[in-house]
Each structure stands twice: as structure tokens, then as C-alpha cells.
Chain A
Amino acid sequence: MATASAAPRIHVDRLTMAYGSFVIQRDLDFTIQKGEVFVIMGGSGCGKSTLLNHMVGLKEPARGDIVYDGQSFWDATPETQEGLRRRFGVSFQGGALWSSMTLAENVGLPLQTFTDLRPRQIREIVSLKLALVGLAGFEDFYPAEVSGGMLKRAGVARAMALDPDILFFDEPSAGLDPISSRRLDDLILELRDSLGATMVVVTHELASIFTIADNAVFLDAQTRTMIAHGNPKTLRDESPNPTVRTFLRRGETEPAEGAVR
């Protein structure tokens, strides 16, 4: 897992995203380094989740490419794409757990599919992953039987089933109470530190952004492109763009004393 390389882990290369002829974002260009917690932020409906769908290979770019460790995703053969996909873990907005399977079967499916482990070994790994997200003992529950926050955490457990190099999170704190959302943030940082994985997080929760992000990109719905790139705390204080400063200060134009940490 610890492959040191000079090239950035992920390079979003002059990416333009569109639904048909309707352009959502154009000319996105940024890099994500190994071991970074990278936040994709912006107002509602600016195309954050769409960008994530492009990065994990669900939606093809209108123009441009995503490059992983020097390997282009969209110019690659389907086999190479498969190989790249297996290095990702994706935690979807609503968890997206397979509703006909128990939590253990959900987490176990990637292991069962892509490894030669024996069922007992899989069962043990599954229990560990569920324990890591605080769901020990919920192995045999069906997704419909647990709460929204638990679904999300189970989704994270499934995303890290194969110990991926890169973990993607779509709105991890959406719809969670402040404490659960804080716990999920801590989990993201903890996993980064312990697994050395690269984290890409889509969110617009300011508290979360300032807690976890090393680096961030700001997508603007009005101009339909990225208008800022850097550490969110630096951007809040020093960005030349008023839209970004206003967003990061929750709409307060004056720098309020002791606002968000």
C-alpha cells in the first residue's frame, strides 16, 4: 500500500463535466497528494457529487481526464479501469448498502469476490471492519433495521473492506446529528493516519471542512468552475475571492472574532 512516488496520487486534468449539452463545471484542474485529506466544497447543486462520480469512474467526462499515479483512468482499457477501481473505496451519501444483504454480507462481498480467503477469515475481517466504525454486534442486521447514521458508518466499513489506497466520501455528515458527524470526521482522520490512505471528501459542512481538510477545492455554481484551491483556513483568511471568503465564514462578511475554529 505504501508506494512512494513523485507523481501526485490523483490529478484531475482539465476536466469538464456535462449532462448532455448542459455544462456543470468546466476546466477543473487540481492534484491530490498521497495521504492527504482533500475536500471538495461548494454550495448546493454546484456539481460536487458529480465530480466525485467522475473520479470514481461512474460518469464519463465531457472533456479532460482523471489520472491516478500517472495512469489515466478514461484512456485506460476496461481491465485497467477495473484494477484502478479495486483501489478505491467509496462511501455513498445514503450508505447505498445492498438492501437484500446483512451488514456483514455487505462488507464481506468485496472480500468474497476479490480474495481467496476462507469464509471464517472473511467473517473475522468483517467483524473487525464493523468494530472499527463502531458497529460491532450488528453483523446480522439488515440495512433497513438500523439508523441512518449507522447505515453511513456501515457504508464506510464496506468502502474499506479491501484496504483501499483512496477512500471517497460523499457528504459524510449530511443528515447526521453533530456528534455522529464529528465521530465520522474523527474516523476519517484516524483511518488516514493508520492506513495511510488518501481521502477525498465531498462536503459543505464548515465545521467538518476546518476539522479534517489539508487541502480543498471550491466549486462555484455561478461561474461553473473552480475558483479556489488550497487549505480552507488559509482560504478563509486570505482568499482574494469574496465568494469563497463568504462561504467559509458562513455568510458573515466581517471576520468575526472566535467564529469557526
Chain B
Amino acid sequence: MAAVSLTSDVEVAARTSVRRTGPDSAVLELAGAWLSRRGLPEPDASVRELGGIRRLGFDATRVTAWDSGLVTFTLKVLGEAKRAAIDADRGGLPEGVRRLLALAEAVPEKQTGRSGARTPWLARLGASATATAEAARIGVAFLGDSVLALLALVGGRARFRMSDLFLIIQECGPRALGIVTLITFLVGLILAFVGAVQLQQFGASIYVANLVAIAMTREIAGIMTAIVMAGRTGAAFAAQLGTMNTNQEIDALSTMGISPMQFLVLPRMLALILMMPLLTLYADLVGILGGAVVGIGMLALSPTQYFEQTKGAVHLSDFFIGIAKSSVFGVVVALAGCLRGMQSGRSAAAVGLAATSAVVTSIVLIIVLDGFFAVLLNVLGF
């Protein structure tokens, strides 16, 4: 009978001893309270004492209480006995333990092909290299698919809902104005402040206007807007599409013969291609305004002076360069967000990873592409 006792007076610590009953037989004596929370003896110690034995019995008459701890212990001992070809008689175990053992052994362990063993470092290196190559292939294929979707749009065959497009435009255009204003205003301010400290030493503080205007229009407004959009909108795209994937909503589109590329990715890409240049133009102006605050407030330049200097410093082409780049960044943010979302695994953790990965991918690509553009424009002489 299972002696499951809850009284504490019988809770003497669990202990074992091996009693030899013949030249090749032994009895494993179990005693005390076998409760996991009180600590358990190591099965290895008992197993070591069983050398040279052919028959093993159990004696549990002095066990005062037990729980899963005893079952785990005997399971381990029985496993070792089986490996050493020892004939084990379970008769001496409490009945409850015998039944739990039978239950645990009822379904044989399934060979799932997964082992806990660590693969050697060379194999892991190879696996990660092939995984990287495969990820690059998928990325390029996705880019190709998106171009096909754009062509379908031009040919008037693309299938998506206009209302979706307008919702996404609203989400990634007007609703992003607040954060874009804050960031670019402050960046313009900081840029002017750092420039002012240096230029004042040469009595050339008026050139703060040139510095801010050129840096903002050609580079910083576009990059800052793109990074804000990567964190704000790219992550949202990845999370939306990842959740749709988890919920089989993307499968539902595919089985219906509606291309997820056209229905989900295309409107998101279009929205960012349309909104990024507008946001960047706006960011240019806000950034210049931020510089003006320093120029007028700290360097005692008159507003007219500052804006005349700015007008002389930047050309229309500077604006165009920044705005053209921002369109490309928009495509990057949309594609990275959508790709990571569509690739996402079907769990909450996977959706979180997809959002993170979308932001990281976008920011890396934005910076790399910006460097590429800098070299290209330099070679072309702009």
C-alpha cells in the first residue's frame, strides 16, 4: 500500500542500502521519507554497489512517505539494471510506485531524431553559412517578387484593397509627423550647436546655416526619417504579417488564389514609397528650423541673415538627392518589414523576433545604402 504520509514526525531523510542475499542476488533497501522537497539520494551510488549481481529485489517496508522522487529513483535504478542484464523484481516496491512505473513505461520513447548532443563547431559553422546563403537567396527572391507585383500594378492587374492602402498611408504618413518633427528638430539643433562652437573660433559662425542646410537636405533628414520609420512602421509591418501568418490568414489568401505579395506587401510598399519623400521634405524644413533656433538664439544672427545664408547654401539638387534616397529607404523599410513578417514562425516569440529582425535589417541596409550613394554621387560629381 502506498504510504503517502503528510505528518512531519515520520519525515526522516530518505536513505538506501544494499543487502546481499546470496552470491549473485541483492535487495535494495529503501527507508525514510522519499519526498522531492526534502532532498533525495543519488541513484548512481546504489547502482555502483550492484556489481556482479544477477537478481535484484526491493524492500520498501520502511519507507514512510513518497512522491515522484521515489519513482524517478527506481526508474533510474531499473534502467541501469536492465542495461547490466540484472533481473529486477519489483514486488517489494509500494503498489502506487509499481503502477506509476508501468504507466511511464507504457509508451516507448519515440525516436524523434533530435538529440541533445552538441554538434561540432565545424558543422555549426557550415550550417550557419548555408543558412546565410539561403537567407540571401530568399531576400533576393522576395525583391524579385515585389518587382513583379509592382509590374502587375502598372499593368492594372494587381489585387489589393484601396481602403487598405489609404489606411496604411495614414498610419505611416500623417501619424508619423510627431516623432519625425521631434527627432529632426533636435538633430538640427544639435548639429548647429556643435558647428557653432567650432565655427565661432574662426569668426565664421554664419556658416552654421550652410552646415545645417546641406547636412540636413543631403543626408540627415533622409536617414533619420528612415530610421524612425524602420522602428515605427517596419516593426509594425513585421508584427502584423507575422501574426497573420500565425493565424493562417496568409495561407487563406494563397489558397484563394490571391497573392499575398500583391494583397499585403504591395500596399505597404506603395504607402512608404509615397510617404517617405514627403516626410523627408518636411524633415528638411524642420531640421533647418532647429538650426535656425541656435543660429538666431545663440549666435545672434538675424532671421533674415540666417535664411538668406541658407538659401544661398543649398540648391534644389540637394533636396532632390535627399528625397530620392529616402524613397529607396522607404522600399527597404517596407520590404524588410514584410519579408520578416512573412517568414515569421508561428509563435508569439517568433513574431517578436520578426519585428526585431525587421528593424535590424532595415537599419543596416539604410546605412549601407547611404554609404553606397555617397560614393556614387561623389563619382558622378553631384
Residues of A whose CB lies within 8 Å of any CB of B are: 22, 53, 56-58, 82, 85-86, 88, 90, 92-94, 96-100, 109-110, 113-114, 158
Contact = CB atoms under 8 A, between A and B. Distances in A.
A85 B251 contact: no
8 contacts: A57-B254, A58-B251, A58-B254, A58-B255, A90-B251, A90-B255, A92-B251, A99-B247
Contact of A96 (B161, B164, B251, B257): B251
Contacts, number: 52
Nearest to B247: A96
A22 B113 contact: yes
B321 interface: no
A97 B254 contact: no
A96 B159 contact: no
A113 B159 contact: yes
A18 to B, nearest CB: 12
Given A22-B113, A113-B159, A96 B258 contact: no
Given A86-B256, A96-B249, 6 more contacts: A92-B252, A98-B252, A109-B258, A113-B256, A113-B258, A158-B252
Contacts of B258: 109-110, 113
Interface residues of B, number: 17
A90 B252 contact: yes
B255 A114 contact: no
A112 B164 CA distance: 14
Contacts of B252: 90, 92, 96-98, 158
Contacts of B161: 109
Contacts of B254: 57-58, 85
B244 interface: yes
Contact of B249 (A22, A88, A99, A110): A99
Interface in B236-252: 243-244, 247-249, 251-252
Nearest to A58: B251
A97 B164 CA distance: 16
Contacts of A85: 254-257
Residue among A88, A92, A96, A114 with most chain B CB within 10 A: A96
Contacts of A110: 256, 258
A77 to B, nearest CB: 14
Contacts of B257: 82, 85-86, 114
A94 B255 contact: no
A90 B253 CA distance: 10
Nearest to A57: B255
B167 to A, nearest CB: 8
A58 B250 CA distance: 10
Contacts of A113: 159, 256, 258
Contacts of B159: 113
A58 B249 CA distance: 12
A187 B227 CA distance: 52
A99 B164 CA distance: 13
B237 to A, nearest CB: 13
A235 B164 CA distance: 50
Nearest to B251: A58
Contacts of B251: 53, 58, 90, 92, 96
10 tightest CB-CB pairs across the interface, nearest first? Answer: A96-B248, A85-B257, A96-B252, A90-B255, A92-B248, A56-B255, A82-B257, A86-B257, A98-B249, A96-B249
Interface in B145-190: 159, 161, 164
Interface in B177-215: none
Nearest to A45: B110
A88 B74 CA distance: 55
B255 A88 contact: yes
Contacts of A158: 252
Contacts of A94: 247-248
A109 B249 CA distance: 13
Interface in B257-280: 257-258
Residue among A22, A82, A100, A114 with most chain B CB within 10 A: A100
B26 to A, nearest CB: 38
Nearest to B259: A82
B83 to A, nearest CB: 25
B244 A99 contact: yes
A247 B132 CA distance: 44
A155 B274 CA distance: 35
Nearest to B114: A22
